[in-house]
Amino acid sequence: MYKYDAIDQQIVDERVKQYRDQTRRYLAGQLSDDEFRPLRLQNGLYIQRHAPMLRIAVPYGMLSSKQLRKLGDIAKRYDRGYGHFSTRQNLQLNWPKLEDVPEILAELATVQMHAIQTSGNCIRNITTDQFASIAPDEVIDPRAMAEVMRQWSTFHPEFALLPRKFKIAVSGTKQDRAIVQAHDIGLEFYRDSNNQVAIKVWVGGGLGRTPILGTVIRDHLEWQHALTYCEAIIRVYNMHGRRDNAYKARIKILVKALGIEEFKQQVEAEWVHIKDGPNTITEAELHRVAQHFEPMPYETLPAHDAGFDSAIASNPAFSSWVKRCTHAHKQSGYRAVTLSLKPHGKPPGDISSEQMQMVADLADAYSFGELRASHEQNLILADVKLSDLFAIWEKARAAGLATPNIGLLTDMICCPGGDFCSLANAKSIPIAEAIQMQFDNLDYLHDIGDLELNISGCMNACGHHHVGHIGILGVDKDGSEWYQVTIGGKQGNDASIGTVIGPSFSAEEMPGVVQRLIEVYLKERTDEERFIDTVRRLGIAPFKAHVYAEKEAA
Amino acid sequence: MSNLIKDNALVADEWTRVIPPSLGDEVVKKQAGKVVLFKLTGEPTYSPAQIAATQIPATGKVLLPLTVWQANVEQLASRMAAGEIGILIATHEPLDSLAATFADINELPLIAVFVERFPDGRIFTIGNLLRTRYGFKNELRAVGDVLRDQLFFLKRSGFSSYLIRADRSAEDALASLKDFSQPYQGAVDDALPVWRRVDRA
Smallest Cβ distance to B192: which of A152, A153, A278? A278
Whether residue A138 lies inside any domain: the answer is no
Task: State the ipTM, two decimals.
Answer: 0.96
Residues A385 and A317 in one domain: yes
CB contact under 8 A, A161 and B118: yes
Smallest Cα distance from A274 to chain B, Å: 10
Whether residue A115 lies inside any domain: the answer is no
Q: Do residues B191 and A278 lie in contact, with contact meaning Cβ atoms separated by under 8 Å?
A: yes
Whether residue A1 lies inside any domain: the answer is no
Among A237, A180, A184, which residue's Cα sits nearest to residue A208? A184
Angle in degrees, 0-180, between the axes of helices A226-240 and A143-153, rounded to the nearest 10: 40
Among A41, A66, A45, A64, which residue's Cα sits nearest to residue A54? A45
Domains of chain B with bracketed CATH: 4-18+46-197 (3.20.20)
Residues A432 and A502 in one domain: yes
CB contact under 8 A, B40 and A154: no
Secondary structure of residue A537 in the 3-state scheme: helix
Whether residue A122 lies inside any domain: the answer is no
Residues A382 and A516 in one domain: no
Secondary structure of residue B172 in the 3-state scheme: helix
Whether residue A326 lies inside any domain: the answer is yes
Beta pairing, strands B4-6 & B161-163 = antiparallel
Q: In chain A, what residues touch B125 (CB-CB under 8 Å)?
A: 158, 235, 238-239
A526 at the B interface (CB within 8 A)?
Answer: no
Which residues lie across from A381 on neighbouring strands?
A: A337
Distance CA(A29)–CA(A26), nearest Å, equals 5
B131 at the A interface (CB within 8 A)?
Answer: no
B31 at the A interface (CB within 8 A)?
Answer: yes
Beta pairing, strands B15-17 & B61-65 = parallel
Q: Do residues A157 and B157 lie in contact, with contact meaning Cβ atoms separated by under 8 Å?
A: yes
Distance CA(A223)–CA(A190), nearest Å, equals 10
Amino acid at B182: Q
Among A389, A399, A418, which residue's Cα sits nearest to residue A341? A399
B37 at the A interface (CB within 8 A)?
Answer: yes
Secondary structure of residue A366 in the 3-state scheme: helix
| Domain end residue (candidates: A290, A324, A353) | A290
What are the Cα distances from residue A42, in Å, to A49, A237, A307, B76, B149? 19, 19, 50, 45, 12
Q: In chain B, what residues touch A109 (CB-CB under 8 Å)?
A: none
- CB-count burial class (<10 Å; 0-12, 13-18, 19+) for A295: exposed
The pLDDT score that the predictor gives to residue A552 is: 67
Answer positive or negative: Cα dihedral of A239, A244, A250, A253: negative
Whether residue A82 lies inside any domain: the answer is yes
Amino acid at A212: I
Q: Which of A4, A158, A234, A289 has the highest number of chain B CBs within 10 A, making it the mutation to test binding with B?
A: A158
CB contact under 8 A, A35 and B40: no
Distance CA(A524)–CA(A326), nearest Å, equals 29
B8 at the A interface (CB within 8 A)?
Answer: no
Residues A388 and A470 in one domain: no
Amino acid at A406: I
Categorize the per-residue pLDDT at B42 as very low, low, confident or very high, splitting at 50, 70 and 90: confident
Smallest Cβ distance to A279: which of B152, B155, B186? B186
Domain harbouring A67, CATH code: 3.90.480.20
Q: What is the pLDDT of residues A297-343, one digit of tens each?
A: 999 999 999 999 999 999 999 999 999 999 999 999 999 999 999 99
CB contact under 8 A, A159 and B121: yes
The pLDDT score that the predictor gives to residue A49 is: 67
Smallest Cα distance from B121 to chain A, Å: 4
> What residues contact residue A29 under an 8 Å CB cut-off, 6+ apart?
none
Q: Which of A18, A239, A289 has the highest number of chain B CBs within 10 A, making it the mutation to test binding with B?
A: A239
Cα dihedral B113/B114/B116/B119 (nearest 10):
20
B59 at the A interface (CB within 8 A)?
Answer: no
What domain range is A261 assigned to? 143-290
Whether residue A41 lies inside any domain: the answer is yes
Amino acid at A244: D
Distance CA(A16)–CA(A27), nearest Å, equals 16
Whether residue A509 lies inside any domain: the answer is yes
Residues A417 and A541 in one domain: yes
CB contact under 8 A, A157 and B201: no
Categorize the per-residue pLDDT at B29 as very low, low, confident or very high, splitting at 50, 70 and 90: confident
Structural domains counted in chain A: 4
User: What is the distance in angstroms between the CA of the first residue and the CA of the last residue of chain B?
Assistant: 47
Residues of B (78-117) whose Cβ lies below 8 Å from A? none
Low-confidence residues of chain A: pLDDT under 50: none
Q: In chain A, what residues touch B176 (CB-CB under 8 Å)?
A: 18
Among A421, A383, A409, A415, which residue's Cα sits nearest to residue A514? A409
The pLDDT score that the predictor gives to residue A553 is: 63
CB contact under 8 A, B147 and A151: no
Q: Per-residue pLDDT for B34 more than 90? A: no
Nearest CA in chain A to B38: A244
CB contact under 8 A, B156 and A157: yes
| Domain end residue (candidates: A226, A255, A290) | A290
A235 at the B interface (CB within 8 A)?
Answer: yes
Residues A285 and A147 in one domain: yes
Residues A162 and A208 in one domain: yes
Residues A161 and A284 in one domain: yes
Distance CA(A14)–CA(B178), nearest Å, equals 10
| Domain end residue (candidates: A290, A320, A349) | A290
Residues A509 and A460 in one domain: yes
Q: In chain A, what residues touch B183 (CB-CB under 8 Å)?
A: 11, 155, 157
- CB-count burial class (<10 Å; 0-12, 13-18, 19+) for A480: exposed
Categorize the per-residue pLDDT at B41 as very low, low, confident or very high, splitting at 50, 70 and 90: confident
The pLDDT score that the predictor gives to residue A554 is: 57
Q: Which residue has the higher pLDDT, B38 or A464?
A: A464
Q: Per-residue pLDDT for B36 more than 80? A: no
> What residues contact residue A534 under an 8 Å CB cut-off, 6+ apart?
A520, A521, A524, A525, A526
- CB-count burial class (<10 Å; 0-12, 13-18, 19+) for A2: buried
Nearest CA in chain B to A8: B184
CB contact under 8 A, A244 and B39: yes
Domain harbouring A263, CATH code: 3.30.413.10
Nearest CA in chain A to B126: A239
Query: What letter does residue A175 receive in the DSSP assignment?
Result: S
Smallest Cβ distance to A239: which of B122, B155, B181? B122
Secondary structure of residue A62 in the 3-state scheme: strand
Amino acid at A402: A
Residues of B (134-163) whose Cβ lies below 8 Å from A? 147, 149-150, 152-157
The pLDDT score that the predictor gives to residue A135 is: 94
CB contact under 8 A, A157 and B183: yes
DSSP letter string, A336-385: EEEEPS--TTS-TTEEEHHHHHHHHHHHHHHSTTEEEE-TTS-EEEEEEE
What are the Cα distances from residue B27, in Å, to B46, B120, B144? 11, 21, 21
Count of pairs with CB atoms under 8 A, one residue in A, one in B? 124
A542 at the B interface (CB within 8 A)?
Answer: no
Residues A310 and A276 in one domain: no
Residues A256 and A160 in one domain: yes
Smallest Cβ distance to A14: which of B125, B133, B181? B181
Residues A166 and A67 in one domain: no
DSSP letter string, B104-161: SGGG-SEEEEEESSTT-THHHHHHHHHHHTS---SEEEEEES--GGGHHHHHHTT--E
Q: In chain B, what residues touch A242 (CB-CB under 8 Å)?
A: 40
CB contact under 8 A, B180 and A14: yes
